[in-house]
Amino acid sequence: MTQNPQYTASKYGIVGFVRAAGPVMVKEDITVNAICPAFIPTNLCPPQILKLWPQEHITPMETALKAIDAFLHNDRMTGETVELSQENIYFRKPVDYANESQRWIGEESGSIWDLGYQTVPQKVGYSS
């Protein structure tokens, strides 16, 4: 949405956070997923926008509830993103890696990062 790039960027950030945090948090029995709705009219919507918005491009709140139910029915589903449009939900997978090197960085470099973070001293408190 070019009228509000901060809004668009925040949505991309949430998807990245969910995909990165989901596999980690599930080890603590916490699932992290994202629901990305299309236009659902709420009280946050200015009345003048709602009057102009074409009805065929409105996603009903029931679609959001359908997405929530999909996550609740599978308590091991984590790191997933579901896009809502009209009455439909679409589970979206990440795009393919550009090459083998990018796949390795994304999927196999974790043990190197773990070793690096083990040697970083952790600050316990702050002194003035």
- Is 42 among the domain residues? yes
Domain-embedded: residue 9: yes
Tokens of 69: 């139910």
104, pLDDT greater than 60:
yes
Counting the structural domains of the chain, the total is: 1
Report phi then psi at 98, rounded to 5: -65, -35
Domain for residue 104, yes or no?
Answer: yes
- Asked whether the predicted pLDDT for residue 112 surpasses 90, the reply is no
- 125: in domain: no
**Two tokens at 123?**
């600050």
Residue 123 falls within a domain, yes or no? no
Q: Among 63-67, 80-84, 90-94, 116-120, name the one with the lowest average pLDDT.
A: 116-120
The pLDDT tens digits for 58-87 are 999 999 999 999 999 988 899 999 999 999
In a domain, 88, yes or no: yes
What's the pLDDT at 89?
94
In a domain? residue 91: yes
CATH number where 109 lies: 3.40.50.720
Q: Domain residues for 12?
A: 5-118
- Residue 124 falls within a domain, yes or no? no
Give per-residue pLDDT as tens, 17-64: 999 999 889 999 999 999 998 888 888 888 898 899 999 999 999 999
Concatenated DSSP letters of 106-117: HHTTHHHHHHHH
Is pTM beyond 0.75? Reply is: no
